[in-house]
Structure 1
Amino acid sequence: MSFLPKEISDGLERARKLAERKNPKLKVCIDGQNHRVLSAWDDGFALDPDVRIRGRVALYDGERLISHCLIVASEEADGERRFEYKRITEAVEEQPLDFYRAPDAPVALLEQH
């Protein structure tokens, strides 16, 4: 939850997306193969024209998972194969809990041997 004014929050989000577009570490992973993203925008990204992928892919910034995407190839232009998102799901750092956890509860239990 953010307590920043909407204008500032929107500006930070635009800056984050712009930084992702210019980031040379962006890559797409599908079936254990990584492909470097040449450029990215709000609705998709571009890869090398020889790359033929579709379906569900994972988008990484270096080693950090950014999102899971369902993609389709849209066109080939300017020496790039462009892909559009049919669906994009942002990755989260923590898994949601389906039960209440007390704030002072132990993280793990160690057995005595």
Structure 2
Amino acid sequence: MSEFLPKEVREGLELARKADLKRRSRLRVQVGEDAYPILRSWETGFALDAENAPHLRGLVDLYNGGVHLYQCLIVASSEEAGEMIYEFKRNTAAVDKAPLDFYRDETAPIALLGR
């Protein structure tokens, strides 16, 4: 059906589709001070708008609104249908506290109560 539509109409529909994806997605990738909205994401990567996205490579942070989700090592893999596709080399969940370096017994007391 799209081959019957004029070029201007197809371009307008594509721009509207991208705008809708940007508006619905709260996910963003942050590189230093720069942030880019994520159009689509999946288990092994994500896609950004090709017009605004640089060829990112290296360590980036993924956020959902203000929540830090992942620290990722990425590489730009391809450009398809106006989207720049990035693949994860490493994807580590962000945590808000340091990991324990010892085993904590579940029945151990939490605090010492004084008299």
Q: Percent identity?
A: 41
Query: What one-letter code is carried by the residue in structure 2 that aligns with 1:31?
Result: G
Where in structure 2 are there 5+ consecutive unaligned residues? 1-23
Q: What corresponds to 1:82 in structure 2?
A: 85
- Normalising by structure 2, what TM-score? 0.65
Q: Which residue of 2 aligns with 1:16?
A: none
Q: Deviations over 1:70-97 (max 9, x none)?
A: 0000110111000000111011232223
Detail structure 1 runs of 4+ shifted over 4 Å in the superposition.
99-102
1:1-113 mapped onto 2 (5 Å cutoff)? 24-49=25-50, 50-52=52-54, 53-98=56-101, 103-104=110-111
Count of residue correspondences: 83
Stretches of structure 1 lacking an aligned partner (at least 5 in a row): 1-22, 106-113
Flag the structure with larger Rg: 2
Q: CA deviation at 1:98?
A: 3.8
Aligned alpha-carbon RMSD (Å) = 1.9
